[in-house]
Amino acid sequence: MNKYLFAAGVLSACAVLLLAMAPANAAETGKASWYKMGTKTASGERFRPNGLTAAHRTLPFGTKVRVKNLRNGKSVVVRINDRGPFIKSRIIDVSKGAAQKIGLVRAGVTNVSIQVVN
């Protein structure tokens, strides 16, 4: 076996193990944006711009997440039903309805924390 392929496999396995060990409700911080385009989500649902939903790269569909705007302290609970964001520097895209609740519409992009809620 190629030593580089073996090393890549070991690193990937370590990353999966670390993710599995993280608590389910661990907070993540980064940039969020909002979106209103599209007719269907990756989960197959019809997209509702005024709903309280969001796109995340890895969280399972149906996961509820508290998104807190770190600039003004406002938060909203959204349900993951789509994949994204497709801009590497962002951690979540929320629907316009969710963005309105946390004061994100005008800014377009802001720093947030996200935490899985039960």
How many CA within 13 A on the CB side of residue 92?
33
12 in any annotated domain: no
Is the CB of residue 30 less than 8 Å from the CB of residue 111?
A: yes
Domain count across the chain? 1
Domain that holds residue 49: 24-117
- Residue 72: per-residue pLDDT: 96
1 in any annotated domain: no
pLDDT tens digits along 17-42: 444 444 455 689 999 999 988 789 99
Closest by CA position to 24, among listed 93, 117, 89: 117
pLDDT tens digits along 60-110: 999 999 999 999 999 999 999 999 999 999 999 999 999 999 999 999 999
- Residue 37: per-residue pLDDT: 80
80: CATH: 2.40.40.10
102 in any annotated domain: yes
17 in any annotated domain: no
11 in any annotated domain: no
**Whether the model pTM is above 0.85:** no
50 has a pLDDT exceeding 80:
yes
